[in-house]
Homo-oligomer: A and B are copies of this chain.
Amino acid sequence: MKTHTLLMPLDMHLHLRDGVMLENVAPLSAYSFSGGLVMPNLVPPVDSLESLKAYKERIMATIPNDFFEPYMTLFYKNYDRKFLTGIAEHITAIKLYPAGITTNSEGGVSSFDIEEMRETLEAMSDLGIPLCVHGETDGFVMDREAEFMSVYELLAKNFPNLKIIMEHITTKAAVDMLDKYKNLYATITVHHLLLTLDDVIGGMMMPHNFCKPIAKRPEDLDALLSVALEAHPKVMFGSDSAPHSREKKESAGCAAGIFTAPIALQLLCEIFEQYNKLENLQAFVSDNAQNIYGICPEFKEVILEKRPFLVPKDYNGVVPMYSDKIINWAIQSIE
């Protein structure tokens, strides 16, 4: 049987939520990943050392039996240098949301005034704290990410030593930015390597393929695949796995978010094998992130095998992508 081994897989964009949902989903990520960059968009957002530490403790309490490092992030606000100096050792990155752009982002940035942000971003630059960005404007849904490129350019030019990560990119426009500024990086989800808008609304309307940013055009999918499959050194895997209850997904006014954490590695094997690029998956799913973030995850070896795997209908009421469908790779063992 064909197998493929991944060492220390990392999910560099992960929503673990809180409370019962946290208890449900965190063990699923901890099972197959060495670590994950945990998003701070709780209600209220994670914006202090106290709430950060408490959230990390709540995460760790859900995974007593696995090695898993929750790389913590802070919700971006215009913090001062003293605060950032004190919190730097406890965080891996700061996550910036434009206000109101996605789930629980109401307290985000409402205008990109460089002078208002300068103290924070210069301090982050000096302290080596990367800035992760949800890069969408409030424009027309298919244009939001492309329109945001001017903000990335503004940030990249003004803070040349700040590592800026374009999160969950979905467009050729974002891919084209990677080689334009040395301090721009990107995460790519597994679902954006599989879907276009056709899979959301091209046939029936499919709530479990509905996420922000929305899956875009075929030429965008091709651009994402090109850099992911080559494991472009500035690109990392980040699932943006975003669990919601079945009720919230399968009703009128469905919430945005695709739940992929428990099947992400299997799907990545399937995609990379399909394009004969399995040899690049290790870099995409771990090595690049280690280099970009300067992190050293604990040892974990995940062996996947090529065999039909029936994706569960749901995980305690959370419906995953490809629910009840057969995919072609499965996890064989984890050490």
Contact = CB atoms under 8 A, between A and B. Distances in A.
A1 interface: no
Interface string A245-279: 00001111111100000000000000000000000
A210 interface: yes
A197 B249 contact: no
Contacts of A249: 252
Given A205-B207, A205-B210, A197 B142 contact: yes
Nearest to A253: B204
A200 B250 CA distance: 15
A195 to B, nearest CB: 12
B198 A141 contact: yes
A301 to B, nearest CB: 36
Contacts of A207: 205, 252, 254
B206 A201 contact: no
Interface residues of A, number: 27
Contacts of A197: 140-142
Q: How many copies does the complex hold?
A: 2
Nearest to A248: B204
A51 B141 CA distance: 44
A312 to B, nearest CB: 15
Interface string A49-82: 0000000000000000000000000000000000
A286 interface: no
Contact of A198 (B140, B200, B255): B140
Contacts of A208: 252
Interface in A160-179: none
B140 A196 contact: yes
A132 interface: no
Nearest to A219: B140
Interface string A217-261: 110000000000000000000000000000001111111100000
A295 to B, nearest CB: 35
A228 to B, nearest CB: 21
Contacts of A205: 205, 207, 210, 253-254, 256
Contacts of A254: 204-205, 207
A259 B140 CA distance: 25
A294 interface: no
A142 B217 contact: yes
A140 B200 contact: no
A201 B214 contact: yes
A202 B142 CA distance: 9
A21 B249 CA distance: 27
Interface string A181-200: 00000000000000011101
Interface in A275-328: 319
13 contacts: A140-B196, A140-B217, A140-B218, A141-B197, A142-B142, A200-B201, A201-B214, A204-B256, A205-B210, A205-B254, A205-B256, A207-B252, A250-B251
Given A140-B197, A140-B217, A201-B214, 8 more contacts: A141-B197, A142-B217, A204-B254, A204-B255, A205-B210, A206-B253, A208-B252, A250-B252
